[in-house]
């Protein structure tokens, strides 16, 4: 069993090196804090790339070019690359998008965070999503109280949105416990 686990780890390390130019030692790969740091770096790069495309009014499906180890040129969307990175770093899609939603809230991009949270609620209806929704509702309350600048649509009723997030959080947690 240990040999199988080592093989899985070495394959993941090889994929990270080939696909993302990220170099791990086996001890680094086993360190969840180090993996989290690498993920944060790539999420920041994704957000910067995504933000630049949005500001230039290009379609969000504009591909990013990456070099294949075989010398071929291939195109991947940064979102797909982020998903692959998450898998290689032993993170679920749900964990990855939860992190993205909370990061968006952290920089005041409420509209973006709400879109991600809505997708999580729709596609990952479980206790973990409930906890993320609750954290988002709590964070929004704190931001509202502290008068933190936020990017909101003009017609958004933030207290109503916070209430809806809290209701969804309770519903997701309660339904999962049955």
Q: For residue range 10-30, list pLDDT tens digits in order.
A: 888 888 888 778 788 889 888
Q: Is the pLDDT of residue 36 over 80?
A: yes
Phi, psi of 24 (to 5 degrees): -120, 145
Domain that holds residue 42: 1-91
CA distance 46 to 175: 33
Question: Which of these three, 27, 62, 91, is where a domain ends?
Answer: 91
The total of other beta-carbon atoms located within 10 Å of residue 45's CB is 15
Examine the domain organization and report whether 158 and 105 are in the same domain.
yes
Domains identified in the chain, total number: 2
Do 71 and 123 lie in one domain? The reply is no
Residues 66 and 107 in one domain: no
pLDDT at 129: 94
Please, are residues 175 and 125 in contact by the beta-carbon 8 Å criterion?
yes
| More confident position, 115 or 77 | 115
Q: What digits encode the pLDDT tens for the residues 133-144?
A: 999 999 999 999
Q: Which of 68, 91, 114 is the last residue of a domain?
A: 91
Higher-pLDDT residue of 73 and 93 is: 93
- Domain end point (choices 30, 58, 91): 91
Distances (CA, A) of 148 to 139, 151, 158: 11, 10, 13
Alpha helices in 26-126 (DSSP H): 26-30, 32-55, 78-88, 93-106, 110-123
Look up the pTM and report it. 0.70
In angstroms, the CA 126 to CA 128 distance is 6
Beta-sheet pairing, 73-76 with 64-67? antiparallel
Same domain, yes or no, for 72 and 135?
A: no
């Amino acid at each position: 069993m240990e040999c199988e686990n080592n093989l899985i780890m070495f394959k993941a390390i090889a994929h990270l090196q080939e696909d993302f130019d990220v170099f791990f030692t086996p001890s680094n790969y086993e360190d969840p804090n180090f993996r989290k740091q690498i993920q944060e770096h790539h999420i920041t790069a994704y957000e910067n790339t995504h933000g630049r495309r949005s500001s230039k009014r290009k379609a969000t499906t504009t591909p990013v070019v990456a070099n294949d180890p075989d010398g071929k040129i291939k195109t991947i969307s940064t979102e797909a690359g982020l998903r692959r990175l998450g898998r290689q770093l032993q993170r679920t899609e749900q964990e990855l998008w939860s992190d993205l939603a909370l990061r968006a809230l952290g920089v005041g991009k409420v509209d973006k965070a709400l879109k991600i949270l809505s997708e999580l609620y729709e596609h990952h209806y479980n206790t973990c999503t409930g906890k993320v929704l609750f954290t988002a509702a709590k964070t929004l309350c704190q931001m509202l109280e502290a008068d933190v600048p936020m990017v909101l649509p003009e017609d958004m009723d933030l207290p109503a949105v916070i209430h809806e997030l809290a209701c969804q959080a309770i519903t997701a947690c309660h339904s999962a416990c049955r």
